[in-house]
Amino acid sequence: MIGYMAHSANKSGNWHRLSEHIRNVARIAGEFASMTRLADEAYLAGIMHDFGKYGDAFQSRLIGEEKGIDH
């Protein structure tokens, strides 16, 4: 595993990069709120929603080195 990941590998063994995940969630959140005055805030919430996953302890959890740590 190179870089920060959003979650552990899926059944096919594929990992999802955290940066890609965060950008996708932000885009979708902004689209959902696009008909309101809160589209920018929704986009920002999408950016921030998994920010805690950038911690080394959480990344260690994904590869089985830590337990009980959440983001």
Q: Which two tokens stand for residue 8?
A: 């552990």
Query: How far apart are alpha carbons 19 and 8 in whole angstroms?
Result: 14
**According to the model, what pLDDT value does residue 71 have?**
72
Percentage of residues of the chain with pLDDT beyond 90: 68
Q: State the pLDDT confidence band at 68, using cuts at 50, 70 and 90.
A: confident
34 contacts: CB under 8 Å, gap ≥ 6: none
Q: Where are the beta strands (DSSP E) in the chain?
A: 5-7, 16-17
Query: How far apart are alpha carbons 44 and 23 in whole angstroms?
Result: 10
Query: How far apart are alpha carbons 71 and 59 in whole angstroms?
Result: 10
Q: State the pLDDT confidence band at 2, using cuts at 50, 70 and 90.
A: confident
**According to the model, what pLDDT value does residue 67 have?**
84
Q: What mean pLDDT value characterizes the chain?
A: 92
Whether the predicted pLDDT of 32 surpasses 70: yes
